Amino acid sequence: MNHLIIPLNREWKYAEKFSNSYINKDVSDDCFKNVQLPHTNKEIPYNCFDEKMYQFISCYRKTFSVSKEYKGKRVFVDFEGVMTYAKVYINGVELGEHKGGYTPFSFDLTDHLIYGDDNLLTVMVDSTERKDIPPFGFVIDYLCYGGIYREVNLRIVEDCFIQNIFAKPGKVLEEKKALSTEIYVHNKGNEQITVQAKVQLLNNDTVCGESVSEAVLEANDKSKLILNMDGLMDIELWGLENPHLYTVKATLLTNETELHSYEVKVGFRQAEFKSEGFYLNGERVKIRGLNRHQSFPYVGYAMPKRVQCKDADILKNELGLNLARTSHYPQSRHFLDRCDEIGLLVFEEIPGWQHIGDVEWQEVACNNVREMIERDWNHPSIILWGVRINESNDSHEFYLKTNDIAHKLDDTRQTGGVRCIPNSELLEDVYTMNDFNLDGVRAPLLNQQEVTGLDHDVPYLVTEYNGHMYPTKRFDQEERLNEHALRHAQVQNEMQTHDNIAGAIGWCAFDYNTHYEFGSGDRICYHGVMDMFRIPKFASYVYKSQLSPSKKVVLEPITLWARGERDECGVLPMTILTNCDSIEVITCEESKKYFPDKEQFPGLEYPPVTIHHLDQHQEWGSSWDDITFVGYVGDKEVAKKTFAKNPVPVKLEVKADDLSLNSGDMDATRIVYKIVDQKGNVMPFINECINFEIEGEGEIIGPKSVGLIGGCIAVWVKTTGSVGKITMKASCSRFSAEDVLIQVSE
Ligand code: GAL
């Protein structure tokens, strides 16, 4: 044993209050409830609530034992994320505090443990919006929730151990590549030791390269060992299509005895923003991205690994994006790991929103830069560090410092810092700008040099557009849904036609809960191209339709096919979001071909089709018929969609993201329900309530009875920890859905 991780995620005790006495073992936790991590301190309704309801101080207690065989080792507790402030105690002794809800922290428990017996870990969690901790201090347009919302582990190592590795691929575009590794070692022992350090580059089990060195480690001291490899042959690059990952394994030995071995994943890729655009592995890639908040209905941030990974899959595969911005904070490592695995680029940034606090606050922000980079520097997906507070004013000294920290820690990545104020000072490598120029009248995007105030081009990326400029609900009127989609298409089109814009990241992927100062008065910002349940709005197909049809055929007419839904009736002009070469539209009156609108959208690889005229009568008081859309790639029919003239609901359709889950740590999956008509199209205005019933080793997250929203709803089901089966039943007054059977295995 030289590196043991013991998950501490099950069987916590939780109380919505804190008293100093809770740090003592002999104080009972009768008034506490059993919870598991990830945990939100307060479940909230989907919308229409008071956000103060989760802003309080709470207490988490975990009793655990460490076997006597580990006496003499080092035992740490690692917290991955606690919102927003944590004070940690072991067996009545205070270990320390951590400020900030998005970055990890650890404490050494070794000297306070009772081996072979119960130990009590107590965490005081302050989830109030403390003015001394970013992003708080003024208003912000998203909720930060509360609780121990990410995982906690015990880590058992020797006295001398590896704390972190930064593995930096080099000479990436040359035939013979290099790898430089910084190994951060901590000798917590009281004696100086001599160690051999070995680093291997592994492709599955094959050793592709190795480097060995010797070092003297002083007692109670930290060291950085640098081991390099050169001449690495036959190394596959990490890219968007083939995100090949390697393992870097570092081992510390003393007198041939292994002290510690530690592994990280890396990808060989070169990423660079230049004034002519963004280059990945030497090739220009236009960035097509969306911003992601990590929040979900009811439980806020507290979702387990599978759900975090699913978001990355949605962004890459359902939305066809090549980048996600983790607005406005470091997000779950599971999300980032998945981005590495599937080839989705990431722009990660420190917590904050418009407001810069005092010196103490800025110190926390600087720590956030360090903690973010030290946690995430090995992810090949991350191509840019955001080191400004989103949309803040210039702050020369502060931003000199954040840039300096980032560059010193990581000399392989550029920095950005998201701003919305033109002519703001560029201390970063990339000018990252929120451009909300598009308002339905003005041009889709501003001119780079007008924004920067410089007389030359610099690396430039649009980091937000749309959002609050055109909030749109999934169940809004058809004309609005159409305009919402067109605005996304217009910006994407525009950025493609300017070489000095590296790409554009829209606001945003998913609707999100917000404070009362923002949103639609119901605590939701309806800014997503998908809703909070990750159910698509039409605008999402603007992005998806930019995928090659060889990957996924997209044929999505923006229509509810109803004469009276739009103002003054009719369905025109109609936009069809598609990656087909041509569309045939068949009504009882005509069959006509339409082609992508290259004139209006010259920048888009797959422009939408626009229909301005249909022989089907539009007027109030004439007959009404079915319509069929057929998509062709070349001459080949690849997709077909029919809308009924007289839609009626025929079933409650159900689809689960996963039918097998894991026991052990909490696992969860989403199940989407929708009422569809005889042609399989959702009935967006049906007014039905869905009742869920669950049997077996699962629990429903959120309420057991919900109203459909725009004809659909989703629910997440989580495991209890045991192996077995879950049966999820759902019904409404008209239909029952098919049961969903989920297998929970070890
Ligand atoms: C930006 C901000 C985002 C979000 C967005 C809404 O100003 O950076 O967090 O509020 O507006 O469009």
Looking at the chain, the whole-number percentage of residues with pLDDT higher than 90 is: 97
In 3-state terms, the chain is what percent helix, strand and coil (to 5)? 15, 40, 45
pLDDT at 368: 98
Q: Pick from 393, 420, 464 the residue to mutate for probing ligand 1's pocket: most ligand atoms within 8 Å of its CB.
A: 464
Ligand 1 atom having least distance to the Cα of 469: 12
Is the pLDDT reported for residue 105 higher than 70?
yes
pLDDT at 661: 98
Instruction: Please provide the average confidence, as pLDDT, over all residues in the chain.
Output: 97
Is the pLDDT reported for residue 565 higher than 70?
yes
Q: Pick from 354, 468, 491, 510 the residue to mutate for probing ligand 1's pocket: most ligand atoms within 8 Å of its CB.
A: 468
Read off the pLDDT band of 588 (50, 70, 90). Answer: confident
Q: Pick from 389, 434, 505 the residue to mutate for probing ligand 1's pocket: most ligand atoms within 8 Å of its CB.
A: 434
The arithmetic mean of pLDDT across residues 525-530, rounded, is 98
pLDDT at 622: 86
CA dihedral 386, 391, 394, 396 (to 10 degrees): -20
Is the pLDDT reported for residue 159 higher than 60?
yes
Kindly state the tokens that stand for 421: 């104020």
> How many angstroms does the Cα of residue 53 sit away from the middle of ligand 1?
24
Ligand 1 atom having least distance to the Cα of 141: 10
The arithmetic mean of pLDDT across residues 498-503, rounded, is 98
> How many angstroms does the Cα of residue 476 sit away from the middle of ligand 1?
21
pLDDT digits (tens, 9 = 90+) for 389-411: 999 999 999 999 999 999 999 99
Read off the pLDDT band of 115 (50, 70, 90). Answer: very high
> How many angstroms does the Cα of residue 527 sit away from the middle of ligand 1?
9
Ligand 1 atom having least distance to the Cα of 436: 12
Ligand 1 atom having least distance to the Cα of 418: 8
Ligand 1 atom having least distance to the Cα of 518: 10
What does the alpha-carbon distance between residue 475 and residue 711 come to, in Å, rounded to a whole number?
Answer: 8
pLDDT at 407: 98
> How many angstroms does the Cα of residue 434 sit away from the middle of ligand 1?
8
Instruction: Of 644, 633, 229, 291, give the one whose Cα is nearest residue 488.
Output: 291
Residues linked to residue 97 through DSSP beta bridges, in sequence order: 87
Peptide bond into 649 cis (omega under 30): no
The arithmetic mean of pLDDT across residues 140-146, rounded, is 98
pLDDT at 617: 75
The arithmetic mean of pLDDT across residues 460-469, rounded, is 98
What does the alpha-carbon distance between residue 233 and residue 211 come to, in Å, rounded to a whole number?
Answer: 15
Ligand 1 atom having least distance to the Cα of 468: 12
pLDDT at 530: 98
pLDDT digits (tens, 9 = 90+) for 659-685: 999 999 999 999 999 999 999 999 999
For β-strands 57-65 and 668-677, DSSP reports them as: unpaired
Instruction: Of 348, 300, 281, 342, give the one whose Cα is nearest residue 46.
Output: 300
Is the pLDDT reported for residue 1 higher than 60?
no
Q: Pick from 141, 392, 393 the residue to mutate for probing ligand 1's pocket: most ligand atoms within 8 Å of its CB.
A: 141
Residues linked to residue 96 through DSSP beta bridges, in sequence order: 88
> How many angstroms does the Cα of residue 243 sit away from the middle of ligand 1?
31
Give, using CA atoms, the residue closest to atom 5 of ligand 1. 467
Read off the pLDDT band of 106 (50, 70, 90). Answer: very high
The arithmetic mean of pLDDT across residues 509-522, rounded, is 98
> How many angstroms does the Cα of residue 468 sit away from the middle of ligand 1?
7
> How many angstroms does the Cα of residue 391 sit away from the middle of ligand 1?
8
Active site residue 272: no
- DSSP 3-state of 617: coil
Instruction: Of 145, 139, 146, give the one whose Cα is nearest residue 123.
Output: 146
- Alpha helices per DSSP H over 142-272: none
Ligand 1 atom having least distance to the Cα of 391: 8
Distances (CA, A) of 85 to 22, 103, 706: 17, 11, 33
CA dihedral 40, 42, 48, 52 (to 10 degrees): -110
Give, using CA atoms, the residue closest to atom 10 of ligand 1. 141
pLDDT at 29: 87
Q: Pick from 139, 293, 391, 419 the residue to mutate for probing ligand 1's pocket: most ligand atoms within 8 Å of its CB.
A: 391
pTM equals 0.98
pLDDT at 616: 74
Confirm if 602 and 497 have CB atoms less than 8 A apart.
Answer: yes
Is the pLDDT reported for residue 621 higher than 90?
no
Kindly state the tokens that stand for 546: 């930019």
Given 80, 151, 158, 464, the catalytic residue: 464
pLDDT at 418: 98
Given 80, 391, 688, 697, the catalytic residue: 391
Letter string b/e over residues 702-717, b meaning 16 or more CB atoms within 10 A of that residue's CB: beeebebbbbbbbbbb
Read off the pLDDT band of 473 (50, 70, 90). Answer: very high
> How many angstroms does the Cα of residue 370 sit away from the middle of ligand 1?
25
pLDDT at 3: 84
> How many angstroms does the Cα of residue 135 sit away from the middle of ligand 1?
14
Active site residue 479: no
Query: Can you give 170-205 as a three-state secondary structure string?
Result: ECCCCCCEEEEEEEEEEECCCCCEEEEEEEEEEECC
Ligand 1 atom having least distance to the Cα of 354: 8
Instruction: Of 315, 355, 347, 293, give the one whose Cα is nearest residue 142.
Output: 293
Is the pLDDT reported for residue 630 higher than 70?
yes
> How many angstroms does the Cα of residue 366 sit away from the middle of ligand 1?
22
Looking at the chain, the whole-number percentage of residues with pLDDT higher than 70 is: 100
Read off the pLDDT band of 642 (50, 70, 90). Answer: very high
Using CB distances shorter than 6 Å, the residues near ligand 1 are 141, 327, 390-391, 420, 434, 464, 467-468, 507, 527
Give, using CA atoms, the residue closest to atom 7 of ligand 1. 391
pLDDT digits (tens, 9 = 90+) for 21-75: 999 999 988 899 999 999 999 999 999 999 999 999 999 999 999 999 999 999 9
